[in-house]
Amino acid sequence: MAGEPDLDVAYVAKLARLNLSAEETRLFQKQLGEVLKYAEKLKEIDVTGVEAAAHGVPIFNVFREDEPRDCFTAQQALSNAPRQANNLFIVPKVVE
């Protein structure tokens, strides 16, 4: 268990690919610090031997027949694209 919360909002924002203004960074640092401090009480509980629950109603291995079905046409898939050409999404340049 970690010690006192040592949240670094500016660093986490980089991980999240989310730019924040200086004002937002300062505000979130304070507000989320309080939320994490509140969550410190989880440390009180002995969780030795307790399985982690990813779902309230765990079910595993759901199968269905592998049958062809209707799916989006290229035009439907592109219908909300901010930029498109030649039936393709336009993305920013990623290699020089």
Partner 1 sequence: MTRSELPALSIAELRPLLCRREVSPREILEALEERINAVDGKIGAYLSRDFDAAAVEAEKADINLPLGGIPVAIKDIINVAGQPCTCASKILRGYRAPYNATAIERLRAAGAIPFGKTNLDEFAMGSSTENSSAQLTRNPWDLSRVPGGSSGGSAAAVAVDAAFGALGTDTGGSIRQPAALSGIVGVKPSYGRVSRYGLTAFASSLDQVGSLTKTVRDSALIMNAIAGPDPCDTTCLNAPVPDYAAELGRGLKDMRLGLPKEYMIEGIDSAVRQAVDAAVKHLSSLGAEIVDVSLPHTDYAISVYYILATAEASANLARFDGVRYGYRAENPTDLLDFYGRTREEGFGAEVKRRIILGTYVLSSGYYDAYYLRAQKVRELIRRDFEQAFAKVDALVSPTSPTPAFKIGEKTSDPLQMYLADIFTNAGNLAGICGISLPCGFARSESGRPLPIGLQFLGKALDEARIFEIAYAYEQSTEWHKARPSLNDQSIVGK
- Nearest Cα neighbor of 39 from 15, 7, 72 is 7
Sole binder of partner 1 in the list 56, 66, 85, 86 (CB under 8 A): 56
**24 contacts partner 1 (rule: CB under 8 A):** yes
Residue 3 CA from chain centroid, whole number: 24
**39 contacts partner 1 (rule: CB under 8 A):** yes
**22 contacts partner 1 (rule: CB under 8 A):** no
**88 contacts partner 1 (rule: CB under 8 A):** no
DSSP codes joined into one string, 50-84:
PPP-S-SS----------------HHHHTTT-SSE
Ramachandran sector of residue 60 (left: φ over 0; alpha: ψ -120 to 50; beta: rest): beta
Q: Which residues bind partner 1 (CB under 8 A)?
A: 1-2, 7, 9, 12-13, 15-21, 24, 28, 31-32, 34-36, 38-39, 41-43, 45, 47, 50-57, 59, 62, 64, 72, 76-77, 79-83, 89, 91-92, 94
